[in-house]
Amino acid sequence: MAATLIEQDPRRTAPRRRRPAASRPSWSSLLYVAPALAFFVVFVVVPIIQSVRISFYDWDGISVATPAGWSNYAAVFSDPDLRQALGHSLVLLVFYAALPVLIGLLLAGLMSRIRIHGLTVFRAVLFLPQILSSVVVAVAWRGILADDGPVNDVLRAIGLGGLAHSWLGDFGTALPSIGIIGTWVEYGLCMVLFLAGIATIDRSLYEAARLDGAGAFREFTAVTLPALRPQISIALILTITFALRNFDLIWNTTRGGPGTSTTVPSVFVYQDAFQNRALGQASALAVVLTVLILVVVGIVQLALRERPERAQRKELSS
């Protein structure tokens, strides 16, 4: 997915090849597109349109739906529970997106300066959290953060037994604990993305920076950081999307509890749709969540795309 998104920037794609038969549209080509398009329209586009429609009704899924106007949307922003859930999402953005990108940049910055021995092994291990099912991740971390888990064992061993408690079961620590799990899931991905980006940087740029007397920090800000712009953009898009969706991990660790201390919009979407039978409310929240993700992804892409003058210079020099 990362690669395909990078490829979308028109300035990064190769100049379009001239195609002989390109002058007039070929209607028969639709036959090739039709199967994929049919699956996408029936199982993605139609359900989204349905969600938007349902969001304007009060409906329990059984009796007749009554038109509700914008009230379900108003509730998303006025209902204290839903507002709290949106607030939790913002907190989790720090843990799921900001921290992993910063850690990834720090590690990648260190690694850009030397030749790494065993790079393939490091890469494979750091990527491991990405391939595990979120349910497996949840089971593993529930064990680690449990009353008698390794975290508390270490605290007791070093004389900080007073701090030991059930991390996911405490109102104050449940949300940050889930945040830490998210940081753990994502930092390896960020680092692997940035390493791939660094591998494409011309080594002579580093030589030049050093000849100019740049220190490690200056070298990072002047050479590494600007070159990683596309990878940072992808990393943010992937991590932010993960943070804002985030159903699996929460459902399998805390289910939003204790109390409402770890609720997020996607948990309400599921509960309202399939447990509380408030289908209109669930749909409105899902639509808001979707719009939010699209807007944030759009902002990241705009903010981090290569500046035109930079891209031009690149073209001239190549």
**What residues between 197 and 236 interact with another protein by CB under 8 A?**
200, 203, 206-207, 210, 230
Give the 3-state secondary structure of residue 199.
Answer: helix
Which of 64-72, 73-81, 82-90, 136-144 is the region at the interface with another protein (rule: CB under 8 A)?
136-144
Residue 306 CA to residue 278 CA, distance in Å, equals 44
Q: Which residue's CB is nearer to another protein, number 220 or number 251?
A: 251
- Residue 158, both tokens: 């070093």
Instruction: Please list, in sequence order, all residues whose beta carbon lies within 8 angstroms of the beta carbon of residue 23, skipping any fewer than 6 positions away.
Output: none
Contact string 98-117 vs another protein (x = CB under 8 A): ---------x--xx-xx-xx
Select from 10, 25, 80, 308 the one that contacts another protein (CB under 8 A).
25
Which of 90-98, 142-150, 157-165, 308-316 is the region at the interface with another protein (rule: CB under 8 A)?
142-150
| Interactions with another protein, residue window 289-308 (CB under 8 A) | 289-290, 293-294, 297
- Residue 178, both tokens: 């889930």
Select from 18, 252, 233, 297 the least CA-distant residue to 135: 252
Is position 266 an interface residue for another protein (rule: CB under 8 A)?
Answer: yes
Q: Which residue's CB is nearer to another protein, number 186 or number 261?
A: 186
By the 8 A CB rule, do 207 and 112 touch? no
At residue 257, what is the residue type?
A: G
Residue 163 CA to residue 141 CA, distance in Å, equals 18
Is position 65 an interface residue for another protein (rule: CB under 8 A)?
Answer: no
Contact string 156-195 vs another protein (x = CB under 8 A): ----------------------------x--xx--xxx--
Residue 267 CA to residue 60 CA, distance in Å, equals 18
Is position 26 an interface residue for another protein (rule: CB under 8 A)?
Answer: yes
Number of residues that bind another protein (CB under 8 A): 112
Which of 74-82, 154-162, 280-288, 304-312 is the region at the interface with another protein (rule: CB under 8 A)?
280-288
Select from 5, 91, 98, 214 the one that contacts another protein (CB under 8 A).
5
Select from 316, 318, 315, 317 the least CA-distant residue to 10: 315
For residues 270, 271, 274, 276, the Cα torsion angle rounded to the nearest 10 degrees is -150
By the 8 A CB rule, do 258 and 52 touch? no
Q: Which residue's CB is nearer to another protein, number 114 or number 162?
A: 114
Select from 72, 134, 261, 262 the one that contacts another protein (CB under 8 A).
134
Select from 70, 77, 171, 274 the one that contacts another protein (CB under 8 A).
274
Residue 268 CA to residue 283 CA, distance in Å, equals 10
Please, what is the minimum distance in Å from the beta carbon of residue 242 to another protein? 10
Is position 60 an interface residue for another protein (rule: CB under 8 A)?
Answer: no
By the 8 A CB rule, do 282 and 194 touch? no
Altogether, the residues listed in the chain come to a count of: 318
